[in-house]
Amino acid sequence: MRKMRALGTDLPGLSRKSTERRPYPPGQHGQRRRGRLSDFGRQLIEKQKLRFNYGVGERQFRRLVKEAKANKMATGDKLLELLERRLDNAVFRSTFAPTIPAARQLIKHGHIQINGRRVDIPSYRVKPGDVISVRDKSKELAIVKDAMAHPSLAVPGWLDLDPSTNTCKVAELPDHSAVPLDIEVQLVVEYYAKRM
């Protein structure tokens, strides 16, 4: 919640809570008027929004930016695609978990399968044709049942959910429109352009 208030935006991957009630930064000086942000400040905020929403550490995020840069696609679009394709995000977007940290825990504890095989690596990258499912023994977990009954977000177009079997098929690669937050990805690219 503090991170979301500091960045001035809701991060659906990080928390179900909203900054609506307290839309100012945390701390005793939070309600003071903010000055104009520098270019660096704006770039940093956009980068942190992505990092905190997807729960990726700085070193890992830097590696993803490097990989996106090496691709033929626009760096920003490729970066968003790589973040969306993380298994922890796919489990969250499939409505099997209320947040990405909760999805990460389900994966690490062996509750999630891909194409019928257990995968316990949250950063595993899903690809079109993959079928994500909750293990039979885990379908009755309170966290899974609650998340499916009250999803945080609608299932995006690149995922095809079948609630009757608790499976979700990756229909296609996600594009920038699948990202559930307001992000100026070009500022993130500019941030790293000077630091790589």
Residues near 97 by Cβ (< 8 Å), separated by ≥ 6? 91, 103, 106, 143, 144, 147
> For residue 179, what pLDDT is reported?
86
Looking at the fold, whether 168 and 185 belong to one and the same domain comes out as no
pLDDT of residue 182: 84
Spans of the chain, pLDDT less than 70: 1-35
pLDDT at 139: 82
pLDDT of residue 14: 57
Same domain, 70 and 100: no
Same domain as 90, residue 164: yes
3-state secondary structure 132-185: EEECHHHCCCHHHHHHHHCCCCCCCCCEEEECCCCEEEECCCCCHHHCCCCCCH
Q: Give me the CATH number covering residue 38.
A: 1.10.1050.10
Global pTM reads: 0.85
- Per-residue confidence (pLDDT) for residue 65, from 0 to 100: 95
Asked whether residue 50 falls in the same domain as residue 112, the answer is: no
* pLDDT score for 104: 93
HSE-CB at 71 with a 13 A cutoff on CA atoms is 16
Q: What pLDDT was estimated at residue 8?
A: 56
Q: Domains in the chain: how many in total?
A: 2
Query: Which CATH number does the domain housing residue 119 bear?
Result: 3.10.290.10
Range of 123's domain? 86-172
CB 55 within 8 A of CB 13: yes
Sign of the Cα pseudo-torsion (67, 4, 146, 161, in order):
negative
Does residue 98 share a domain with residue 77?
no
* pLDDT computed for residue 114 by the predictor: 96
106 and 49 in a common domain: no
In this structure, the answer to whether residues 102 and 142 fall within a common structural domain is yes
